[in-house]
Structure 1
């Protein structure tokens, strides 16, 4: 447990550092949210309204320490400030509205690609030197294709030429969101093409990394000893080979899960999908600093939490870690 306690303390410190940087960076950047608001409203705001908005955005003459304490107090209450592009909508509401779309699309497809990729990688490693190795060049090619290029190809083929799937949006605009069969079927139908983009674009990397690690592990002495003892091949592959080979992939999977919150930005932008990545793209376009700040904070905390979960999984998968603990 000492190992886990050290990790928790480390990630608590990293989280505090992320919170602090998230507080300092916008205050060190050039530009003023109030100036942007004045431009958007064509100077129709009176001084009283400007003063109220300055207080809402934390732009006061108070000492930096006082501003930092107010910032932390607001975060504890779930207050991420007000958006400029969607003023006066709170940033927390915008993030909460975009998060389910990203988790539903990118989260599910990330898990599917990881399971498919690691499983196929183990099989290819066990059958190395056979005809199954002929798929490796194709996998290497897929691994090198960028997400946005894969998305554009799929849109051109299946949306523009064949007309099988819609080009953009998460559901038909005429529908009212709700838990009804018509809306759910529309969401699933619109998610098929972006989901295929993410799965095809990412699972090849999992296959290649898992295959290479499994081949390396299968060459270790303890695996040779297990085979010499006459253990079943399936047991040798899964218990001695795949279990040790998957350890490096756990870290990559944890980072991928953390990145789920950030969304696959280019994929969401191409498909006009209303997730976190697309919201972040709009925030950058609109120079919406509070919204960018809130999104960066949520993404950072998600990556930190995912890495902590990966370390917990390590304790159960790797006996050496338990011995260290």
Structure 2
């Protein structure tokens, strides 16, 4: 039985038109999701194989190194053997056991915080990093991008002449140097703000006004240290993109039509110039989970970055392995988010994406 003939221009044509882009987006997201799932599996597998590629028995080597620094209990030694392999077990059995541990978030016991499980140690530090670095990432992106739009849309203006050299100067300063300068001047000489920790240790954690005020006060210096460099970076990138975009033909055509300066600046120029910044911001979110190691170490802020510093200093291999895996997976998740956002904004990405 033959299908009925639908006249050209009937309702099926708009439906097919709507259906095409939806299918294209679906295929694009499925391809990207499959790619990143494979990449995540490779990251997990490498995290399993690298310690076991060490010469000899890696678990015994690690136990010997740790025993030279701290006393290891039987539970801790058993935890190390589960994580880094027992030479008496086949590699495939170790791999299956390791995959089960990863999906259960069972990374053994921490050496530096014994007998606390590794995941509990990370769970205690993760909210501090997300609360500090995550908020700073969003705020610095908004301010830096807005400033770059205004300066790049009016290149040579007073704002551009003052803000651009200042932003370039800020990007050249090492983050740890800014942190040490703030500690010296604002912390010790002027005594305006606390220089370490996340809150006053004399306060009991809770939702009280005193505790929340202490958390905000302790976060000011680390937040300023991170935000200054990040906002300057977003500003310079957006400004350069705007300078290139305002000379494009479609922007010049919009001006020739007599549209207002604000409409041309934001609806035509900024909308297209923001594509790389939006994608870059999504990728930058993956670095939030890893924290800011140098900044958190200078301020002794109890986030993931400072936790990584402590794990290296105490040779806490189970904690280090879990942190490295968590950072790797978070970066992959952020890249998938960036690809997804870019695919929604720019249809050309869906055509060329693989």
Query: Deviations for 1:107-162, whole angstroms, at most 9, x for unmatched residues?
Result: 10011000000000000011212222222211110111111011111111111111
Q: How does 1:240-279 map onto structure 2 within 5 Å? A: 240-279=268-307
1:114 maps onto 2:141 in alignment? yes
- Alpha-carbon spacing, 1:62–1:243, altered in 2? closer, same or farther (3 Å): same
From the CA coordinates, give the structure whose radius of gyration is larger.
Answer: 2
- Alpha-carbon spacing, 1:57–1:8, altered in 2? closer, same or farther (3 Å): closer
Q: How does 1:83-122 map onto structure 2 within 5 Å? A: 83-122=110-149
Report the alpha carbon displacement of residue 176 of structure 1 after superposing the two structures with TM.
2.1
- Alpha-carbon spacing, 1:14–1:150, altered in 2? closer, same or farther (3 Å): same
5+ long unaligned stretches in structure 1:
none
1:7 corresponds to: 32
Report the alpha carbon displacement of residue 216 of structure 1 after superposing the two structures with TM.
0.4
2:321 corresponds to: 293
Name which of 167, 171, 178 aligns with 1:150.
Answer: 178
For the aligned residue pairs, the C-alpha RMSD in angstroms reads: 2.0
Report the alpha carbon displacement of residue 59 of structure 1 after superposing the two structures with TM.
3.1
2:7 corresponds to: none
Relative contact order higher in (CA < 8 Å, ≥ 6 apart): 1
Instruction: Tell me, yes or no, if the aligned pair for 2:51 and 2:84 is still in contact at 8 Å.
Output: no
1:70 maps onto 2:70 in alignment? no
Instruction: Tell me, yes or no, if the aligned pair for 2:197 and 2:300 is still in contact at 8 Å.
Output: yes
TM-score (norm 1): 0.93
2:13 corresponds to: none
1:320 maps onto 2:348 in alignment? yes
- Alpha-carbon spacing, 1:175–1:33, altered in 2? closer, same or farther (3 Å): farther
- Alpha-carbon spacing, 1:34–1:268, altered in 2? closer, same or farther (3 Å): same
Q: Decide which moves more: 205-214 or 231-240.
A: 231-240
5+ long unaligned stretches in structure 2:
1-25
2:109 corresponds to: 82
Query: Deviations for 1:215-274, whole angstroms, at most 9, x for unmatched residues?
Result: 101111111112222222222211221111111112321222110100011000000000
- Alpha-carbon spacing, 1:59–1:239, altered in 2? closer, same or farther (3 Å): same
2:62 corresponds to: 33
Instruction: Tell me, yes or no, if the aligned pair for 1:84 and 1:288 is still in contact at 8 Å.
Output: yes
1:126 corresponds to: 153
Q: How many residues align?
A: 322
Instruction: Tell me, yes or no, if the aligned pair for 1:26 and 1:289 is still in contact at 8 Å.
Output: no
